[in-house]
Amino acid sequence: MQDGDGDALIPAGATHPPAGGPVIIELESPQPATLHPVSSFTDEWGQFRLPDPELLHYEPQKTVARDREHMLSLAARLEQAFLDYKIKGSVQEIHVGPVITMYEFVPEAGIRVSRIESLAKDLALSLAATRVRIVAPIPGKSAVGIEVPNESPQMVFLKENVANPSFAQSKSKLSMAMGKDIKGRAVVADLAKAPHLLIAGTTGSGKSVGVNAMILSILFRASPRDVRMILIDPKMVEFSIYNDIPHLLLPVVTDPQQANLALQWAVREMERRYQMLSDMSVRDLGDYNQKVEDIRKRGIEDVPEHLPFIVIVIDEFADLMMVAAKEVETAVARIAQKARAVGIHLITATQRPSTDVITGLIKSNFPTRIAFMVASRIDSKVILDQMGAEALLGNGDMLWSNRGLAPTRVHGAFISTSEVQAVVEHLRAQGRPSYDMSIVVSAEEGAAGFDDEPYDVKWEEAVDIVARDRVASISYIQRRLKIGYNRAARMVERMEHEGIVSAPNGTNQREVLIPQR
């Protein structure tokens, strides 16, 4: 409901609390299942042992006696603070969470929401709280939420979420254990549905720990056959611990120019995958891989390649924008616009959510965003399109706006360096990575480097196939030789360089220039 000035009003149907005062709703107690594996930790092909939650650390939280009288006293002080500003109303419910407690305040009918929203600092002073965040109104309710930090906050451990049935029983290979909401419930996100993440947070906000928890979540769910990763770390300290895990397509990328080349490659890979989906008459990656598996089971010799998800994680996006802003912006926007159906997903994080880093083009293509604590209201509006992130507590406290919906407050799971190391060592023991260094080779370097590159043992066979069958497509060579796309593409580029095939024409076809064999 709005008044004549377009300002939101509390509906006239708002009710008052029962005569006995507000209802206190305690934190949900963890169920025993939350710390026990509920699924097999071997992938469905039986070839790769996924990490076990026992590699992670968990400390049972000490039960903190919740002082009912103290909470009721705070509720009364809250009502009096509002009354001092001529806002009548009452607290109806008190929701106790692991880190904050929400007081649901119902104003009298006709109170402008904007009057309440402007009082966050005044309420913090009245309640002697470090920070107070106001949710006005609470979605689906005729009430305003006042979030007050707990005097004894509880830590959220990644192990709780990874071993929780909501995560362990998830069918998606891109499920991520985000943490707990303000009522203590496990929050699990699916990157495949997001389908990309834009993250911002200042130093000390818990952003880096949060991104590491997202990476580990995926590594707990997926083998390298399911998911491959490109980790971009211009600061050179955040992702180096992941080097040599079998999921990586490249060693951790620390050079911004190479990061730009990796993004350009991702655009080309996206277009290639769309062509492959079109050739198979399917609409998304899941249907494509299912069709490939059906072909394999029928015993057909020429089986198309299985395509894994590709997750690209950028730790400090601002550093890339400083090096090649236009190229990076265009590549990221194209991937964000189109790549969901072909299984390519971005997680992009920055400490500096300014408009020259998070441009309008990029922002419009990232409907799912996460704000950890930021420095100002302006930064919060840049990342979330609304204020609120400046009032977060740091240490993993975040606002998660899922595909444009109203932000949900989540307390991120903590993960230590020793836990990351334990998971990484387990993964390294499963096998070595198969790096594809052609991803970060520019077109100019590629054209000039044929004479110096190592001899490919399948080169002569590839030339024979092209000369005999008169077909010079990358996908055809890939299928016939049962090799990866980039290796086949390199062969076709070399054939063009040596005059064996022509450059692609307007329909992207190549003419074979040597006699038939």
Higher pLDDT, 413 or 482: 413
- For the cut 80, the answer to whether the pLDDT of residue 303 exceeds it is no
Gap between the Cα atoms of 505 and 194, Å rounded: 37
- Band of pLDDT at residue 9, cut at 50, 70 and 90: very low
Per-residue model confidence (pLDDT) at position 8 = 45
Q: Which of 245, 252, 251 is nearest to 425 (CA)?
A: 245
Q: Which of 326, 390, 386, 335 is nearest to 359 (CA)?
A: 326
- Band of pLDDT at residue 457, cut at 50, 70 and 90: confident
- Band of pLDDT at residue 287, cut at 50, 70 and 90: very high
State the angle between helix axes of 459-469 and 474-481 in degrees (0 to 180), rounded to the nearest 10: 120
- For the cut 80, the answer to whether the pLDDT of residue 261 exceeds it is yes
Per-residue model confidence (pLDDT) at position 11 = 44
Gap between the Cα atoms of 64 and 54, Å rounded: 26
Asked which of 121-135, 155-169, 193-207, 292-306 is least confident by mean pLDDT, the reply is: 292-306
Per-residue model confidence (pLDDT) at position 2 = 45
**Angle at 207 (CA atoms; ends 341, 122), nearest 5 degrees:** 120
356: exposed, middle or buried (Cβ count in 10 Å: 0-12, 13-18, 19+): exposed
Per-residue model confidence (pLDDT) at position 392 = 92
Look up residue 240 and give its amino acid: S
Q: Whole-prediction pTM value?
A: 0.81
Mean residue pLDDT across the chain: 86
Q: Which of 257, 158, 265 is nearest to 490 (CA)?
A: 265
Higher pLDDT, 69 or 415: 415
Gap between the Cα atoms of 22 and 68, Å rounded: 11
- For the cut 60, the answer to whether the pLDDT of residue 6 exceeds it is no
Domains and CATH numbers, the chain: 66-149 (3.30.980.40), 158-254+310-430 (3.40.50.300), 441-497 (1.10.10.10)
Model confidence over 167-193: pLDDT tens digits? 988 899 999 999 999 888 899 999 999
What sign has the CA pseudo-torsion 335, 339, 340, 343?
Answer: negative
Structure tokens at 437: 């260094």
Structure tokens at 178: 């985000």
Model confidence over 72-113: pLDDT tens digits? 889 999 999 999 999 999 999 998 888 899 999 999 888 888
Phi, psi values for residue 97, rounded to 5°: -115, 180
Write the DSSP symbol of residue 32: G
